[in-house]
Amino acid sequence: MNQREPLTGARVIEAAAAVADRGGLPALSMRTVGRELGVEAMSLYHHVAGKEALLDGLADWIFTGIELPDRDAPWREGMRRRAVSAREVLSRHPWALTLIESRANPGPALLRHHDAVIGCLRRGGFSAVLASRAFSMIDAYVYGFALTERNLPFEADSGASDFAAEMTAALEGYPDLAWLARELITGGDYSFAAEFDRGLDIILDALDRRLGGEPTGS
């Protein structure tokens, strides 16, 4: 007879992630997580205090999957790798963006993540104010891109041109939108997914210029 793997807090959170991956946050409950683990829901309370604690743990779990900037990496390389990794994690777990933006109890993984990002910027010469702005700006871009990508009516890495072609007739009377659709159709190789790196470069270039001309403490 096989001995059942001991139940731990980490296993409970991983099971919660699996439930959310399949059904989104509405599918998440102590009961469904217990079912995922093959145990009664009451067994979970030895490891998490309840639904709210489960959500806090799940929000913190997301940050364990995001690559942290290497301590010796230049700030630009560190920010790029972290942003790319964050987008990949949010793409794999579409429910995560809503969750991490709604929790008010930061866990150790989130704090470690934030500390590493700020540390990378600080070692790169950023003041506290500019580091805070850079962090906020990059996250706003990553989160916004992930949200848009999740809701696209076509595959992010292809299909934009076909979708634009289908929309052409509906855009009559909207000349600028029609122009954009025509440009995408003419190019034939537009990929929304590929725009992530280009947009990130624009932000990093702007931060680089601001860093080079920033007065101390600004």
The pLDDT tens digits for 152-206 are: 755 656 666 666 667 777 788 888 988 877 777 666 667 778 889 999 999 999 9
Domain that holds residue 92: 63-152+192-212
Average pLDDT over residues 97-114: 93
Same domain, residue pair 97 and 140 = yes
Same domain, residue pair 76 and 110 = yes
Which CATH number is 108's domain given? 1.10.357.10
- The whole-angstrom distance between residue 65's C-alpha and the CA centroid of its chain comes to 10
Mean pLDDT of all residues in the chain?
Answer: 88
pTM exceeding 0.75: yes
Residue 88 lies in a domain: yes
Residue 143 predicted with pLDDT over 80: yes
Residue 146 lies in a domain: yes
> Phi/psi of residue 127, each to 5°?
-70, 170
Average pLDDT over residues 129-148: 95
Tell me the per-residue pLDDT of 55-83, one tens digit each, with 9 for 90 and over. Answer: 999 999 999 999 999 988 999 999 999 99
DSSP the chain: -PPPPPP-HHHHHHHHHHHHHHH-GGG--HHHHHHHHTS-HHHHTTT-SSHHHHHHHHHHHHHHTSPPPPTTS-HHHHHHHHHHHHHHHHHH-TTHHHHHTT--S--HHHHHHHHHHHHHHHHTT--HHHHHHHHHHHHHHHHHHHHHHHH-SS-TTS-HHHHHHHHTGGGTT-HHHHHHHHHHHHH----TTTHHHHHHHHHHHHHHHHHHTPPTT-
Residue 33 predicted with pLDDT over 60: yes
- pLDDT higher for 218 or 58? 58
